[in-house]
Amino acid sequence: MSAYINPNLLLDTTGIEPGHVVWRSPSNLAIIKYWGKYGVQLPRNPSISFTLANSFTETILDYGPKQTDEDGIDLQMEFNGTEDVKIQQSTHAFLQKMLPFFPFLNQLSLKIRTANSFPHAAGIASSASGMSALSLCLCSLEDRFFGTLGDPKTFDRKASYISRLGSGSACRSIFPYMSLWGEYRPVEGSSNEYAIPMEDHIHEVFKGYHNAIMIVSSQEKSVSSRAGHALMEDNPYADARYRQANERMERLLQILKDGDTQAFCTIAEEEALTLHALMMASTPSYTLLHPNTLKMIECIREYRAQTGHPVCFSLDAGPNIHLLYPDSIKEEVQLLIDSELVPLCERGFWIKDWVGEGPEEL
């Protein structure tokens, strides 16, 4: 949407007082997965996710009048308290791309300090929380200088749009409980360019869902999400997959509305395994699953069959298991986690997380 390109957002350089903005933004877990993209970060199919609570990035953006005459972004960056050249370079490149949307960034010296709530080496993707936290900071800055984003809906939509340009899935982290990204006709207002809040479309039970992240391996993944998306272009199953995602979206939206936690299990697991099946069916093929991922899957399915409890798993683009269950069975599921799943985690490490209320300005 070129409407967000705005050459008028320029400051009167004589009056810039130094200041800062701070945002905490969570990660999210897709139930219907985004896998395959085109153009500038546009999804091949609609996706829907839980917004998490305990896995988040906190970003402080300090700014002041620009200290150099050089054109372009002037940035210092700290990640978890230290300088990290790779993150500095990718953030610099992202901000440079953001200049048409926030031209005033060229008039400032910026310092970004960012940290994750989860250990860097946990094998959890931080792009959704990281890019959404940074995008929220940029929107706050725009609103502080120009008063253009005072309406919360306008603010969130731009924050989601900008997040998407940083990392597709990040656009879904902006909203509480659940978000939908990608044009899906039956949901009015849905768009390929930003996510929309789904709070009003879901049963209360899902707002209290738990999402325990069982760390099977903290190793950096062998194939990045970006490369994985690219492999979808020649995947012979791609068209069928995009159709299937739309069909599953229809089923899932009904399930979410009805609060049908059993039917939810079926569809969440089908989607998780479809994502990994697509990776295995790519050329070149690859798998990110580990033996202990499969052991956990077996264990969770057996537990569900025996107890009838609606506990299920999902997967991101990695080997770690996201265990999903309603609040009403948390005590029972804790026993399953402690006795059966923790022994299969790397050094027994897992993260307690749950569905959250979205980003927070601090």
Residue (143 or 183) nearer to ligand DP6, CB? 183
Residue (54 or 109) nearer to ligand DP6, CB? 54
Asked if 167 touches ligand DP6 (CB under 6 A), the answer is: yes
Smallest separation, CB 241 to ligand DP6 (Å):
13
Residues numbered 227 to 246 that lie near ligand DP6 (CB under 6 A) are 229
Smallest separation, CB 213 to ligand DP6 (Å):
13
Asked if 321 touches ligand DP6 (CB under 6 A), the answer is: no
Asked if 191 touches ligand DP6 (CB under 6 A), the answer is: no
Rounded CA separation 315/318 (Å): 7
**Residues whose CB falls within 8 Å of the CB of residue 282, separated by 6 or more in sequence, listed in order:** 228, 231, 232, 234, 235
Residues numbered 254 to 283 that lie near ligand DP6 (CB under 6 A) are 275
**Site for ligand DP6 (CB under 6 A): which residue of 47, 140, 190, 211?**
47
Residue (168 or 310) nearer to ligand DP6, CB? 168
Instruction: Using the structure block, give the residue that is written with the tokens 């978890």.
Output: 80
Residue (30 or 53) nearer to ligand DP6, CB? 30
Smallest separation, CB 287 to ligand DP6 (Å):
14
Cα torsion through 149, 180, 300, 333, rounded to 10: 40
Asked if 126 touches ligand DP6 (CB under 6 A), the answer is: no
Contact present, 302 and 184 (Cβ < 8 Å): no
The one segment of 115-123, 201-209, 222-230, 237-245 that binds ligand DP6 by CB under 6 A: 222-230
Rounded CA separation 185/178 (Å): 18
176, 172, 225, 178: which is closest to 194 by C-alpha?
Answer: 172
**Site for ligand DP6 (CB under 6 A): which residue of 168, 182, 319, 358?**
168
Task: Give the neighbor-by-neighbor strand order of the sheet with 350-351.
Answer: 312-315, 321-325, 210-214, 350-351
What is the crossing angle of helices 261-280 and 238-258, to 10°?
Answer: 160
Residue (47 or 218) nearer to ligand DP6, CB? 47
Contact present, 89 and 124 (Cβ < 8 Å): no
**Site for ligand DP6 (CB under 6 A): which residue of 316, 337, 344, 350?**
316
**Site for ligand DP6 (CB under 6 A): which residue of 225, 293, 314, 320?**
225
Instruction: Using the structure block, give the residue that is written with the tokens 């980003």.
Output: 359
Question: Which residue lies nearest ligand DP6, judged by its C-beta?
Answer: 168
Residue (140 or 320) nearer to ligand DP6, CB? 320
**343-350 CB contacts, 8 Å cutoff, 24+ apart:** 344/214, 344/216, 344/292, 344/295, 344/296, 344/299, 345/214, 345/215, 345/216, 345/292, 346/215, 346/216, 346/217, 346/218, 349/122, 349/215, 349/218, 350/212, 350/213, 350/214, 350/215
Smallest separation, CB 169 to ligand DP6 (Å):
3
* Residues near ligand DP6, by CB under 6 A: 30, 33-35, 41, 47, 125, 127, 167-169, 225-226, 229, 275, 316-317
